[in-house]
Amino acid sequence: MIESTKPKKKQVVIVGAGYFGLKRLKACLELKKHITVVGVVEKNADLAQQIKEKHQVPVFSSLDEVPSNQMELAIISTPNNTHSELAIKALSLGAHVLCEKPLATSSAEATKIAKAAVKYKRLVKTGSNHRFFASVQKALQLYQKGEIGELLSFRGSIGTTGNQTAHSWFWDRKVSGGGTFIDNGCHLLDIARMFMGDFTSAFGHTDKLFWTESKVEDIGTGIFLTKNKRQALITSSWFQWHGYLYFELWGDKGYIIIDNRDGDYLILGKKDQPLTTTLDFTNYPKNSYHQEILYFIECINQKKQPSPNAEDGAKVIKMIESVYASTSSKSWVKL
């Protein structure tokens, strides 16, 4: 009898049952052909009881309680300042790790995770579900096909109203690592790196303009340069009242615009052609969390580094830190 070569379902543990943890749990439960949710790690007794009753999955108070042979993949969805400790713990227990963005509250802590991944011979993926938006995936395909030629500049903005983060741990720098630029901004910084690669220097400014009671910034802007002087201009805020993500890719043969501030659209234009092509992704399934998890499982099965991995996550945080440093020094900062 010939045995099937089809990969068996991955045993997954969700660490944290807050807002994003529940999103991750929902996605995993809906991927039951690929995943077995063996449990949720949650210290809060009320949340733990709710998870047990609603989803009928085991709940543990710590990673140490999870049977070591039942945790192939740990998804870390806890406050930022716990990411490093929990990710390294999961790696030491033999699990691969998908950790929500930002990977840590500092590049130094993120580098510790990267080193632990090497030590324990496991894979780490930094959470980056925005890469898996249908419009962003299409933009990457068009760019890789050469539709806009050599990329010269990237410009974008990302943000929310700030209502969801107001008066929460997001306002506590010791827990969050910063404000909107490390909260929302890291998504756009990651996308910029996906298209442009590494950056070598930065200049930026952050401030509090609306959520003035906060201890962290509610707006931040950074200018980033590659080694060949290509530019990325990125703004993030907690008072982007309507809409969320917008960015432009400008190449020597054309341009791509992604706009999901009111729907989800991709616009493709050519340098020497007056007409543009608009693709509407508004009604496509909102399954970026599902696609990201499936992608990471594929990486695990093929034993290949995911993108962004832990080193990529650390580089994004370094970009964020450079803007914070530039705000203080009012000068360019090397990366």
3-class secondary-structure state, position 9: coil
Q: What is the pLDDT of residues 138-147, one digit of tens each?
A: 999 999 999 9
Total of domains in the chain:
2
Mean pLDDT of the chain: 96
Q: What is the pLDDT of residues 18-46, one digit of tens each?
A: 999 999 999 999 999 999 999 999 999 99
What's residue 79's pLDDT? 97
Q: What is the pLDDT of residues 50-78, one digit of tens each?
A: 999 999 999 999 999 999 888 999 999 99
In a shared domain, residues 220 and 327: yes
Is 5 inside a domain boundary? Answer: no
Q: Quick one: average pLDDT of 169-185?
A: 98
In a shared domain, residues 50 and 138: no
Beta strands in 115-230 (DSSP E): 124-126, 151-159, 201-207, 219-225
Confidence band of 1 (pLDDT split at 50, 70, 90): very low
In a shared domain, residues 179 and 271: yes
Structural domain of residue 86, as residue ranges? Answer: 10-129+291-309
Its sign, for the CA torsion 189, 192, 194, 197, is negative
The total of other beta-carbon atoms located within 10 Å of residue 314's CB is: 23
In a shared domain, residues 76 and 22: yes
Q: What is the pLDDT of residues 190-228, one digit of tens each?
A: 999 999 999 999 999 999 999 999 999 999 999 999 999
What residues have CB less than 8 Å from 101, skipping those under 6 apart? 126, 127, 128, 186, 187, 190, 313, 316
Q: What is the pLDDT of residues 232-286, one digit of tens each?
A: 999 999 999 988 999 999 999 999 999 999 899 999 999 999 889 999 999 999 9
Per-residue CA distances from 313 to 62, 111, 196, 245 (Å): 25, 9, 15, 20
**For the domain that residue 97 is a member of, what is the CATH number?**
3.40.50.720
CA–CA separation, 185 and 172 (whole Å): 17
The total of other beta-carbon atoms located within 10 Å of residue 275's CB is: 6
Is 3 inside a domain boundary? Answer: no
**For the domain that residue 145 is a member of, what is the CATH number?**
3.30.360.10
In a shared domain, residues 116 and 168: no
In a shared domain, residues 35 and 119: yes
Is 4 inside a domain boundary? Answer: no
In a shared domain, residues 44 and 179: no
Show the tokens assigned to 72.
């192939």
In a shared domain, residues 181 and 253: yes
What's residue 5's pLDDT? 54
In a shared domain, residues 135 and 274: yes
Is 205 inside a domain boundary? Answer: yes
Query: Is the model's pLDDT at 82 over the cut of 60?
Result: yes
Give the residue carrying structure tokens 């439960």: 29
